[in-house]
Structures are given as structure tokens and as C-alpha cells.
Structure 1
Amino acid sequence: MGGLLPVLLLILAGVLVGGAFSLHRQGAPRGVVLTTAALSMLAAVAGGLWLLPGEGS
């Protein structure tokens, strides 16, 4: 399970990026688009950091 979670987080980040782009193109309120984009960045950073080697690995 240790290698699956970062992959799922990076997939989630990709889905959220697509969602943010789609919301932007549909004219959604700026706050909704920015929130979706921020969640995407958070998921991408979490997935990336999870892959870094550390003491627990």
C-alpha cells in the first residue's frame, strides 16, 4: 500500500487540474476555480513528497 497512495494522490491532482480548467472555461466563479486549483496543487505536492526517501522507508 505504501507505493499506491502517492500514485493515487498524483492521479487526483491530475483530475483536479482538469476540473479547474473545465470550471474556468465554463465561467465558474473565480473562488471555485482557485479552490480547485489549490486542492490540485496540495495533492500533487503531497504525492511528490510521499515519494521522497526518508528515515521511515
Structure 2
Amino acid sequence: MAIVLFLVAGFLVGGVIQLVRSGATKFSIGLVGVLAALATAGGILWSV
């Protein structure tokens, strides 16, 4: 399960990068960034 969460986090980080490049709103960038951070934290906590 931790690997799945890290994969999701990777996709979300890529989404943040694409949102920044396309000039999206700060809210959408922040929302996807928070989801990426939560997925990363979940992956770390699940692997402990």
C-alpha cells in the first residue's frame, strides 16, 4: 500500500509542476500540493 501512495504522490507532484507551468490559480496549485503531501505522509506512515 505504501508504494501505491508514493506513486499517487509522484503523479500529484507532476500535476503541481504542470499547473505551475500552465499558470493555474494558486488555489488549485495549493490543493494538489496538499494532496501530494498527504499521499507522501501516508506512504511514510504506512511503511513504518
Which TM-score band applies after superposition, normalised by the shorter structure? Answer: over 0.9
| AA of the residue aligned to 1:19 | G
State the TM-score, normalizing by the size of structure 2. Answer: 0.96
State the TM-score, normalizing by the size of structure 1. Answer: 0.82
Bigger Rg over Cα: 1
Please list every run of 5 or more consecutive structure 1 residues that lacks an aligned counterpart in the other structure.
53-57
Structure 1 runs of 4+ with >4 Å offset: none
- Choose between structure 1 and 2 for higher RCO, CA contacts under 8 A separated by at least 6 residues: 2
Identity rate, percent: 35
How many residues are aligned here?
A: 48
Structure in which a larger fraction of residues adopt helix: 2
- Aligned CA-pair RMSD: 0.4
